[in-house]
Amino acid sequence: MKKKAILINYTGRKGSGTWDAYGMAKALIAKGICCVGVFSSDVENKNEIQKLAFDKIVFIPTYSNMKSFILESLRFSKKHRNNIIKEFENYNIENIYCPMDTQWEKKISDCFPKAKVYLVCHEPLLKKGDNWITYKIFRTHMKKADAVIVHSKVFIDVVKRISKNPTYYMPLGQINYYGQYDDKKSMVTYSNSTVNYLFFGRIAENKGLDILAEAYRKVYDELDNSVSLSVIGNGDFSLYEKLYRDLSNVTIINRWIEDREVESIFLGHNLILICPYKEGSQSGVIQVARDYGIPMIVTNVGGLSEQVENEITGLVTNVDADEIAAAMIRLANDKELYNQISRNEKEEAKKYTWENSAVYLIDIMGEKNEN
């Protein structure tokens, strides 16, 4: 008799999706659900994934550039598909959970034609600077999935119009696993004598780094050397170099940040996270900062205002440099507000556990532990 299992299907290599997959798998396994997985052999948190009590994991080579993508895609049809089917021939896979869409999500899911596919959509809308070809592929995957899951309620109707299939809301779990590394690296040190503003994440046109430069200039004009700004993340920063060149007390770290380096970014005195996004769905950075009780300022776009309650767990502004600057100055000057938001953040973090998210998923799937 075949063993019933949920397949965790994720072949991304880096970023928050790797920890989303880890967090959900860990929570499902803790609830007695049999889980199997297909992951990239280059996934950044491979060691941590292997420590989980998966019944079986298959790691497959993925890609790092267009040439290797084409090569491995050809191999997928000839080799990987047969290998995946053979490795899981003793399992009855009724449900497949895809924590974030990837180029090969559907190829893997199609190995199990009778299974229902639950695909998490993080970015339902094409944003400025996004690759439209990739976006088109992911839209096709949404339409083919049996159900789509979003992390922001504001996008339920948007996704329903795209997929025409059932769409569910499930909170994004906390993704702070960065503190568990034995070989953590410290990459940034903040001054104890300044209020330290932080932007962390992928450098992209929708993230509002031009607005942040303008806002910080206004803040520095008023607060002078009592403030600093750190912009940390991977992506093309060339569009913003001139804007930041003559700003004072600014640190730019423009490269891919290793997981073992991340925690040091959120450790320091008087930290304030700034998310000046022009467009967006939700932010995993918010979830990380929340674990450390870091007050934050976010713009009222997409689902950010669902993640941050104005005046309670942060400040929410319009996409406007003057408003963002005013909020930055307010949090810098009002220590009582800063401390209260920090306390609220730590309490709020307790609500967004992967254990709670797993309950949502089990309910959505109608899954029962039959082991």
Which of 100, 86, 83 has the alpha carbon at shortest distance from 20? 100
Which three-class secondary structure state does DSSP give residue 98? strand
249, with CB counted inside 10 A (0-12, 13-18, 19+), is middle
Residues 268-316: tens digit of each pLDDT = 889 999 999 998 766 778 888 988 999 999 999 887 888 889 999 999 9
| Section 143-172 average pLDDT | 86
Least Cα distance to 90 among 32, 178, 197, 5 occurs for 5
The amino acid present at 317, given as its one-letter code, is T
Tokens of 52: 């989980």
Least confident of 87-101, 147-161, 222-236: 147-161
pLDDT at 371 over 70: no
Give 253-287 as a DSSP string: E-SPPPHHHHHHHT-STTEEEEE--SS-S--HHHH
| Phi-psi domain of 249 (left: phi exceeds 0; alpha: psi -120 through 50; beta: other) | left
Structure tokens at 176: 């702070």
Q: How confident is the model at residue 99 (pLDDT cuts 50, 70, 90)?
A: very high
Angle, CA 290 vertex, CA 15 and CA 188 arms, to 5°: 65
Instruction: Give the pLDDT band (50/70/90) at residue 129.
Output: low
Can you give the pLDDT at residue 287? 84
In the sheet that holds 91-98, the strands lie side by side as 56-60, 35-40, 3-10, 91-98, 116-121, 147-150, 167-169
Cα-based angle 8, 24, 264 (whole degrees, multiple of 5): 120
The answer to whether 71 and 40 are in contact (CB under 8 A) is no
pLDDT bucket at 114, cuts 50 / 70 / 90: very high
- For residue 93 the two structure tokens come to 């896979």
How sure is the predictor about 104, in pLDDT bands with cuts at 50, 70 and 90? confident
Report the alpha-carbon distance of residue 227 to residue 264 in Å, rounded: 19
pLDDT-based confidence at residue 159 (cuts at 50, 70, 90): confident
Locate all alpha helices (DSSP H) within 9-111, ordered by sequence: 16-30, 46-51, 66-75, 81-87, 105-109
Across the chain, what does the average pLDDT equal? 88
Average pLDDT over every residue of 325-342: 96
> Which strands sit side by side in the sheet containing 271-275, from one edge to the other?
250-253, 227-232, 195-200, 271-275, 296-299, 315-317
pLDDT of residue 294: 94
Return d(Cα 124, Cα 157) in angstroms, integer: 11
Residue 133 has pLDDT above 90, yes or no: no
Q: Which of 185-199, 213-227, 344-358 has the highest mean pLDDT?
A: 213-227
Residue 100 has pLDDT above 60, yes or no: yes
What per-residue confidence (pLDDT) applies to 127?
65
* Phi/psi at 211 (5° precision): -65, -40
Judging by DSSP bridges, how do beta strands 167-169 and 227-232 pair with one another?
Answer: unpaired
292-to-50, 195, 227, 345, 350 alpha-carbon distances in Å: 27, 16, 20, 8, 12
